[in-house]
Amino acid sequence: MSKFWSPLTASLEPYVPGEQPKDKAYIKLNTNENPYPPSPKAIAAMTAAINEDLRLYPDPNSEVLVQALAKKHGLAPQQVFVGNGSDEILAFAFASFFDPGKPVLFPDITYSFYKVYAKFYGITPKLIPLDEQFNINVDHYTGEHGGIVIPNPNAPTAIPLPLDDVRRLVESNPEQVVLIDEAYVDFGAESAAGLVHQYPNLLVVQTLSKSRSLAGLRVGFAFGSEELIEGLNRTKNSFNSYTLDRVALAGSVAAIEDHHYFAATTAKVVATRERVRARLQELGFTVTPSKANFVFISHPVIPAKRLFEVLREQGVLVRYFASPRIDNFLRVSIGTDEEMDSFLAAIEHNL
């Protein structure tokens, strides 16, 4: 606490990101990064972009990237927004669409940054419990509210939401924005991006951080009706007129256009996930039906906190969430086959 802080800053409860150890010796399965490198074409494009043009400001409208995304998804450029990671887009969306006088609904449990944004903008979060199997029941997202935020698949449960449920949610709340956060959608869930033509209240947010292996570049994007995208641009331009730098723009476009590399690395992550899931189940773990690049697991005998600690001692970092609702689970990102074999060996060693 400092006397120089505004009352707002003094009141904040900032998000605590997963540990990023400097020591490379860890097998890092704690922040859902992709174990494979970014597309070589993206790296080449970024390397080429490091030239004397960096003297100049980047295009404030990120037009090359907006165009590439619009083309890929069959949308008009006016239906596409890009930002500095999907976290930034989520922050802009909370500011643009949610009225501080009304609660915003999101699942309990879910991505913990939503609560942080709500606090920042003075919005009351209303948490809607998951069912016994950790599924989202969209029929519970009703009553007086100012908007809905749901990740698909959900985090940290990894469980997807069927597209019909997304449709029902959007149709039954026509007066509020429904934000579907698709950070992990490419690992097997169904994207709602194609629905934005139909529903003016649907905003779909995606990222290059997971399936495109570019968490370090900080690029996210959103698809929605022209009025929603215009709202995001109003907020963004009141805050920071230059979103993506020249290097990020070059790398993002190349990454999006390298479909072949994306498909191959995503398929590898999915195959590894299925193998790990089967083995963990053989070992007696409960494993949720993941469609993400991580698994959410619990052992009937060994407490998750203890497993987290022993794995750490053996050089494997995973994520332990202490939540009043779900406190005996670990979230484990899917690494390479070799990394996951080390993880499984460490687990087996402790059973």
Contacts (Cβ under 8 Å, ≥6 apart) of 144:
102, 103
Q: Report the nearest approach of ligand PMP to the CB of residue 276 (Å).
A: 19
Q: Report the nearest approach of ligand PMP to the CB of residue 9 (Å).
A: 22
Bridge partners for 104 per DSSP: 125, 147
In order, the DSSP letters of 111-133 are -THHHHHHHHTTPPEEEEEP-TT
Q: Report the nearest approach of ligand PMP to the CB of residue 328 (Å).
A: 21
Q: Report the nearest approach of ligand PMP to the CB of residue 87 (Å).
A: 3
Give the closest residue to 38 by CA, choosing from 243, 181, 208: 208
Nearer to ligand PMP, 106 or 299 (CB): 106
Q: Report the nearest approach of ligand PMP to the CB of residue 287 (Å).
A: 19
Nearer to ligand PMP, 155 or 287 (CB): 155
Nearer to ligand PMP, 98 or 347 (CB): 98
Nearer to ligand PMP, 62 or 207 (CB): 207
Contacts (Cβ under 8 Å, ≥6 apart) of 143:
none
Nearer to ligand PMP, 85 or 335 (CB): 85
Nearer to ligand PMP, 294 or 299 (CB): 294
Interaction site with ligand PMP (CB under 6 A)? 85-87, 111, 151, 155, 181, 183, 207, 209, 215, 220
Q: Report the nearest approach of ligand PMP to the CB of residue 56 (Å).
A: 26
Q: How many CA atoms lie within 13 A of 331 on its CB side?
A: 25
In order, the DSSP letters of 203-238 are EEEEESSSTTS-TTT--EEEE--HHHHHHHHHHHHT
